[in-house]
Amino acid sequence: MDYEAWWLILIPILFGLGWIAARVDVRQMMSETRQLPDSYFKGLNFLLNEDHDKAIDAFVEVAKLDTETIELHFALGNLFRRRGEIERAIRVHQSLLSRADLPKEERDHAQHEIAQDFFKAGMLDRAEAAFKAVLDSSFAVSANRSLIRIYEAEHDWPKAIEAVKHLHKILDEPVPQLIHYYCELAQQAMQSKQPDITYIEMQLKQAEQALLKQQTALLTNAASVRIAMLRAKLLKIQADMAGERKYLEGILANAPEYAGLIAADLLDNYKQAQQAELGLDLLRQHYMSHPSLDLFKIVFSEFRGQKGAKPAWEFASESLRLHPSLLGLDKLLEVELKAAAGENGSGHEGEILPDVELSLLHKMIHKHTQRLDRYSCSSCGFQARTFYWQCPGCNMWETYAPRKLEEM
């Protein structure tokens, strides 16, 4: 009986305490709300309605009234950067960094924000320095990734490699483009007048090791193809024709879609071995099972040179019947015009069609195929006449398929 009476007393007390606590919270919230200027709520309303110009004006007014609103300064700087007003974004973040009383966490945040401002403005040197300043903060991962993008844009591959290694210490995640960094260094070394064979070999070994360690990649087949192409090129520099052929034929077998990129080198290898006809037959057979426009032009041109116009046109007719292509016809006419001009000098009479008709037909077709004779980035859509391992538009790696637009 005493126990029940105690509960009867306790329940009203608890209810009263709850009511008092709620009243205190509501009063505190109402007090804080009254302290916020009307411009703050106007700014939020404009932001929700995606009217960024008016939102910025409203938030600027609030920032002037209360300089202690750190989060508002960050929001304002982000709005300026998104709208492309980089100078104003930089000024906002610089004003935060100039404050001596700014806590370390907020200072790191402001440093990271101004680094992004510099990066978007194209001031890569200042962006690099700003990102490096927060490598020991909670923004280390984001800063590291941004540094990698900067070094890629500057084609500073040694620094990019170091940045990737630093990222691995913080975060154990694959960076597929690391393979290409080593490939870029090897390719640069091959272009010198006196290539350093030892250095090139070292870079290719590093690329191969990175490929083996890679658990997931954008297109691992593309990376392995590039290494094989560079291996073949290195062996050519060393005059090892048998070794070069082995790598090039390996690409034909393991990555047939890349045949158009290596067909000319493979054909040249066979020619140097006095086996031009054998090389042509190999490429012709490969084309019949794995057709591509790049390979078509090389095979047709070599047919025209080795066997004459009639066999070349027979090959072309059969190919275009099986794989109709306006761009293929354009490339065929381009080769035929060059061959006809070389054979008779004056160009009045071709072996298949009169030269004047070939020229007119080529002009008509070429005008409509120029837009199709390009590679396209699957990430940003950037189109280029040359095949790239890294897109010049968005800097993404392995986004170009080895096929022209008409084939996609």
The string of DSSP letters for 156-182 reads -HHHHHHHHHHHHHH-----TTHHHHH
Q: Which residue type is seen at 252?
A: L
CA angle 386, 389, 392 (to 5 degrees): 65
> pTM score, two decimals?
0.76
Bridge partners for 400 per DSSP: 377
CA–CA distance, 116 with 114 (Å, rounded to integer): 5
Alpha helices (H) in 154-258, listed in sequence order: 157-170, 178-190, 197-213, 220-237, 241-254
164: tokens are 């990737």
Angstrom CA distances, 20 to 8, 13, 25, 27, stand at: 19, 11, 9, 11
Closest CA to 319 of 296, 303, 298, 290: 296
How many other β-carbons are positioned within 10 Å of the β-carbon of residue 33? 10
pLDDT at position 362 is 52
Closest CA to 128 of 108, 149, 107: 149
Closest CA to 375 of 367, 383, 363: 383
Q: Which residues contact 104 (CB under 8 A, 6 or more apart)?
A: none
Dmax over CA atoms of the chain, in Å, equals 125
CA–CA distance, 314 with 298 (Å, rounded to integer): 15
Residue 317 burial by Cβ neighbours in a 10 Å radius (0-12, 13-18, 19+): exposed
Strands (DSSP E) contained in 252-404 are 375-376, 383-384
Per-residue tens of pLDDT for the chain, all 408 residues: 455 555 555 556 555 555 555 544 444 444 444 444 454 445 545 444 555 555 555 555 554 444 456 777 787 788 778 888 898 888 888 887 887 888 899 899 999 999 999 999 999 999 999 999 999 999 999 999 999 999 999 999 999 999 999 998 888 777 888 999 999 999 999 999 899 999 999 999 999 999 888 755 444 589 999 999 999 999 999 999 999 999 999 999 999 999 999 999 999 999 999 999 999 999 999 988 888 888 888 888 898 888 887 787 788 777 777 776 655 666 666 666 666 666 544 443 445 554 445 555 455 455 555 666 788 999 998 998 889 999 988 888 999 988 887 666
- Residues 327/331/337/343 CA torsion (nearest 10 deg): -160
Closest CA to 188 of 202, 200, 178, 177: 200
How many other β-carbons are positioned within 10 Å of the β-carbon of residue 340? 23
CA angle 237, 162, 165 (to 5 degrees): 110
The 10 Å CB-count burial string (b at 16+, else e) for 82-110 is eeebbebbbebbeebeeeeeeeeebbbbb
